[in-house]
Amino acid sequence: MGAGTYEDEIQPMMRVVIDTNVLLVSISTKSRYRPIFDALLEGKYQLAISNEILSEYMEVLERKANATVATNIAEALLNSENVIRTEIFFSWGLIKEDEDDNKFVDCAIAANAKYLVSNDKHFRILQEVEFPKVDVVGIEEFLESLRE
């Protein structure tokens, strides 16, 4: 037997930050992206959120659906053991084109997330940033990684 311990064999759960638009399209039971939301509810990955991100999720859900849906989703997230509330102590300001998107980047860095999941073109600039490194994947790539 090897010298490794039991803890060495446990794979840490993937931690991600999800852009609002990705969350939005994954909630509907009729969406082809629903497996993203289902995998979250089933505890297959960890979702890192900050207060700012949660506020944006609720604001957009309220606008696109209604207040009840927004509240129910927020409560589901806050009561989930695999949703990691993340305090942001530093703003890196890596995205200049749409500075509001920095809340997702800062959360990904603070939470040491494996991925930031977004199809937003403003996040492409992160490919050129050496430090801090934030890996951005699109919704299709993330959906595929959940199926593996």
User: Do the Cβ atoms of 24 and 61 come closer than 8 Å?
Assistant: yes
User: Do the Cβ atoms of 69 and 29 come closer than 8 Å?
Assistant: no
What's the domain range around 117?
6-147
In a domain, 129, yes or no: yes
In a domain, 1, yes or no: no
User: Percent of the chain at pLDDT above 70?
Assistant: 92
Asked if pLDDT for residue 145 goes beyond 70, the answer is yes
- The one-letter amino acid code at 119 reads N
Number of domains in the chain: 1
pLDDT in tens, 79-114: 999 999 999 988 887 787 778 899 999 999 999 999
**Average pLDDT, integer, range 123-134:** 81
Task: For residue 49, give the CATH number of its domain.
Answer: 3.40.50.1010
User: For position 131, what pLDDT does the model report?
Assistant: 81
Q: How far is CA 52 from CA 5, 59, 85, in A?
A: 39, 11, 11
User: Do the Cβ atoms of 29 and 127 come closer than 8 Å?
Assistant: no
The count of C-alpha atoms lying within 13 angstroms of the C-alpha of 97, restricted to the half-sphere facing its C-beta, is 7
In a domain, 90, yes or no: yes
User: For position 8, what pLDDT does the model report?
Assistant: 43
User: Do the Cβ atoms of 22 and 33 come closer than 8 Å?
Assistant: yes
User: Do the Cβ atoms of 127 and 121 come closer than 8 Å?
Assistant: no
User: For position 126, what pLDDT does the model report?
Assistant: 78
Task: Return mean pLDDT, the chain.
Answer: 89
